[in-house]
Amino acid sequence: MIKLNIRQKIFITILASLFSLAILLGWIIWDSLTNMMREDLINRGNNIAVHISETSSDYILFDDNYAVHQLITETYELNEDVRYIMVLDSNSAVYEHTFSDSLPKGIISAHSDYNENTSNAKTISSDEGAIQDIIVPIEDSEVGYVRVGMSEKQANQYIFSKMTELLIVTLIVALFATGVAYFISRRITSPIQRLVDVASGISAGDLSLRVKSIKNDEVGELASTFNAMADNLINSNNQIDTLLKQLQEKEKLRSKLILQLLSVQEDERRRISRELHDETSQALTSLMVTMRVLANEAKDEEQQQLLFTSRDIAADILRQIRDLAVDLRPPILDNMGVVSAIKKYIKDFKEKYDVDVSFYTSVTEITDLDENVALAIYRIVQESLNNVIKHTEATRIKVGLILEDNNIKLTVSDNGQGIKEADFMKAQAQNRIGIHGMKERVEVQNGSFTILTNQLGGTKIIVSLPLIQKGRLS
Ligand SMILES: Nc1ncnc2c1ncn2[C@@H]1O[C@H](COP(=O)(O)OP(=O)(O)OP(=O)(O)O)[C@@H](O)[C@H]1O
Ligand SMILES: [Mg+2]
């Protein structure tokens, strides 16, 4: 379908209305003119016929053919519209006529039924167009009849010339109307067009645009409402900008706080680990040495056995404390690096839980890795492996660590039953922070954290962290 704009629609509507009006008027004029001309023709025909009827009755009574002939010929010649005149006797036989040759075929029977109660005119069609045939009796039909044929040819020519004039005038008016229609449609649509232009400009981002000086009508009202709307848009935008800035600042602060919290937590863990290793372990070792000396010196066997058992318990506690110290802050992470630390952790984990954990890495070690990034990776491996043991019946775990486009990509997949939405929500309601903590650690380092369901239906954690070298953390 053709798409028209408002201007074209108004233009076409005005022109269509004008043309419909012209056609309607033309038809009315043509119709009334035709009727008028026909009536006039019949009247004139009637007058002629009456005149001949009155004049010719005596001639006919005295059988003066010549006088009748003279009368009708003269009348015929004087009136252009008269196509023929016939005088008939009382038996409807032709007495005289004006046809130069014989009578046209069928003319007598075409109008023979004279009745004083009905119209005495009848339309006969001929090869020259319609003819109004008027019949008038002579002396109340006792002497005969006069028939006068009035041709519509001239009347039609007159109507045709008048209609041609009307058509020319209509065309001139239509031409003028086209100009007026164009002008009116322009006047109506140009303020709307201005509005459209400004609206497109604003939607393209230029909020300073306004619609200028539009008249005090509905479009003017629309324009001022539109301008007010644009002002409001700027205000709202400013408010959104301010809110966004505040939000960004808060987000920055939150990230900073989380980072600080994590670093404080790690410092604390390191301190406790060192304390456990340096102080508690040393004290326990001295205790064990003392116990052994005491046990060796004990006279009573029962007492000695008791001391040996106590020493074994102390040795057990020492082992647990050392494990705890390592768990809190594995020295290997600081000494050798994240890859070695993960390897060691997985080795111990496999022994402890008797589960199949495979580790794939594309590098032997990542040297000079930023401490926070290294810690994040190590803690995520720890938390994910513990989650598998804690929450699933998984028998296989796959850990992968690769370097890709200056990013460290860590994946941990298991063949367990996957994270159930309801369980996850429940854990959140209980303030469990394992997964949340992993996510935060990654996000403060500008990394990405994703949890998926893997092909086996188990869980897959994908972490990507920027490869930041030591001392280059912003
Ligand atoms: N590998 C996994 N397979 C299936 N479900 C898991 C897995 N990891 C986590 N979940 C589910 O997601 C929940 C949230 O885990 P999240 O680590 O946040 O908390 P948690 O392990 O329950 O407690 P927290 O880690 O704080 O000691 C868990 O309670 C568990 O239902
Ligand atoms: Mg957990």
Summarised one tens digit per residue, pLDDT across range 14-67 is 888 888 988 898 899 999 999 999 999 999 999 999 999 999 999 998 999 999
**CB distance 379 to ligand 1 below 6 Å:** no
pLDDT given at position 473: 45
To test the pocket of ligand 1, the residue of 385, 417, 419, 431 to mutate (highest count of ligand atoms within 8 Å of its CB) is: 419
Using alpha carbons only, what angle is made at residue 66 by residues 63 and 68, rounded to the nearest 5 degrees?
A: 75
To test the pocket of ligand 1, the residue of 265, 353, 379, 391 to mutate (highest count of ligand atoms within 8 Å of its CB) is: 391
- Cα of 333 vs centre of ligand 1, distance in Å, is 25
Atom 10 (ligand 1) nearest CA: 419
Mean pLDDT of 107-127: 84
Percent of the chain with pLDDT over 70: 99
- Cα of 427 vs centre of ligand 2, distance in Å, is 9
- Cα of 268 vs centre of ligand 1, distance in Å, is 25
- For residue 414, the ligand closest to its alpha carbon is 1
- Cα of 283 vs centre of ligand 2, distance in Å, is 33
Q: Look at strands 82-89 and 121-126 and give their pairing.
A: unpaired
Atom 16 (ligand 1) nearest CA: 434
Q: Where does the pLDDT of residue 232 fall: very low under 50, low under 70, confident under 90, or very high at 90 and above? A: very high
DSSP element (H, E) containing 96: strand 94-97
Backbone angles phi, psi at 473, to 5 degrees: -75, 130
Token pair 């290294």 is found at: 374
**CB distance 82 to ligand 1 below 6 Å:** no
- Cα of 434 vs centre of ligand 1, distance in Å, is 7
Q: Where does the pLDDT of residue 238 fall: very low under 50, low under 70, confident under 90, or very high at 90 and above? A: very high
- Cα of 388 vs centre of ligand 2, distance in Å, is 9
**CB distance 432 to ligand 1 below 6 Å:** yes
CB neighbour list of residue 170: distance below 8 Å, 6 or more residues apart? 22, 26
Closest by alpha carbon to 216, among 191, 244, 197, 195?
191
- Say which DSSP state 150 is in: E
Q: Do 470 and 371 form a contact (C-beta atoms < 8 A)?
A: yes
For 188-208, the pLDDT digits (tens) are 888 888 888 999 999 898 888
Q: Where does the pLDDT of residue 474 fall: very low under 50, low under 70, confident under 90, or very high at 90 and above? A: very low
**CB distance 382 to ligand 1 below 6 Å:** no
pLDDT given at position 242: 95
Q: How are the residues of the chain apportioned to helix, strand and coil, as percentages rounded to the nearest 5?
A: 60, 15, 20
Mean pLDDT of 167-185: 87
pTM: 0.53
Cα separation of 441 and 267, whole Å? 15
Mean pLDDT of 245-263: 85
Cα separation of 387 and 367, whole Å? 28
Mean pLDDT of 63-74: 94
Q: Do 375 and 333 form a contact (C-beta atoms < 8 A)?
A: yes
- For residue 426, the ligand closest to its alpha carbon is 1
pLDDT given at position 145: 93
Residues, CB-to-ion distance under 5 Å, ligand 2: 387, 434
- Say which DSSP state 238 is in: H
Q: Do 374 and 333 form a contact (C-beta atoms < 8 A)?
A: yes
Using alpha carbons only, what angle is made at residue 36 by residues 32 and 37, rounded to the nearest 5 degrees?
A: 120
CA atoms lying within 13 Å on the CB side of residue 141: 8
DSSP element (H, E) containing 435: helix 434-444
Atom 8 (ligand 1) nearest CA: 387
**CB distance 427 to ligand 1 below 6 Å:** yes
Looking at ligand 1, which atom is closest to the CA of residue 427? Answer: 29
- Cα of 410 vs centre of ligand 1, distance in Å, is 18
- Cα of 421 vs centre of ligand 2, distance in Å, is 15
Cα separation of 21 and 11, whole Å? 16
Mean pLDDT of the chain: 89
Where in 251-380 does DSSP place strands (E)? 356-361
Listing DSSP states for 251-273 in one string gives HHHHHHHHHHHHHHHHHHHHHHH
Atom 5 (ligand 1) nearest CA: 419
**CB distance 170 to ligand 1 below 6 Å:** no
Give domain 6-102+118-175's CATH number out of 3.30.70.100, 3.40.50.10470, 3.30.450.20, 3.40.50.1000.
3.30.450.20
Q: Do 389 and 355 form a contact (C-beta atoms < 8 A)?
A: yes
Atom 2 (ligand 1) nearest CA: 388
Domain boundaries, given as residue ranges, for the chain: 6-102+118-175, 210-329, 337-474
- Whether residue 106 has pLDDT greater than 70: yes
The alpha carbons of the chain give a radius of gyration, in whole angstroms, of 59
Buried b (16+ CB within 10 A) or exposed e, 226-247: bbeebeeeeeeeeeeeeeeeee
Q: Do 57 and 138 form a contact (C-beta atoms < 8 A)?
A: yes
Looking at ligand 1, which atom is closest to the CA of residue 431? Answer: 26
Q: Provide the terminal-to-terminal Cα distance of the chain, rounded to the nearest Å.
A: 61
Q: Where does the pLDDT of residue 471 fall: very low under 50, low under 70, confident under 90, or very high at 90 and above? A: low
Atom 4 (ligand 1) nearest CA: 419
Closest by alpha carbon to 179, among 19, 9, 20, 11?
11
Token pair 């201007």 is found at: 7
| Amino acid residing at 359 | F
Tokens of 139: 């002396």
Using alpha carbons only, what angle is made at residue 467 by residues 461 and 471, rounded to the nearest 5 degrees?
A: 130
- Say which DSSP state 208 is in: T
**CB distance 419 to ligand 1 below 6 Å:** yes
Determine how many CB atoms are found less than 10 A away from the CB of residue 193: 13
Q: Where does the pLDDT of residue 2 fall: very low under 50, low under 70, confident under 90, or very high at 90 and above? A: confident
- Cα of 415 vs centre of ligand 1, distance in Å, is 15
To test the pocket of ligand 1, the residue of 414, 435, 463 to mutate (highest count of ligand atoms within 8 Å of its CB) is: 435
> Long-range pairs for 49-53 at CB < 8 Å and ≥24 separation?
49/134, 49/135, 49/136, 49/146, 49/147, 49/148, 50/136, 51/75, 52/85, 52/87, 52/136, 52/146, 52/148, 53/136, 53/137, 53/138, 53/145, 53/146
Atom 17 (ligand 1) nearest CA: 434
pLDDT given at position 13: 87
Q: Is the dihedral of CA 431, 434, 439, 440 positive or negative?
A: positive
For 277-331, the pLDDT digits (tens) are 889 999 999 999 999 899 888 888 898 999 999 999 999 999 999 989 988 888 8
Q: Do 156 and 174 form a contact (C-beta atoms < 8 A)?
A: no
Cα separation of 375 and 365, whole Å? 14
The CATH code of domain 337-474 reads 3.30.565.10
- Cα of 435 vs centre of ligand 1, distance in Å, is 7
- Whether residue 88 has pLDDT greater than 60: yes
Cα separation of 39 and 89, whole Å? 27
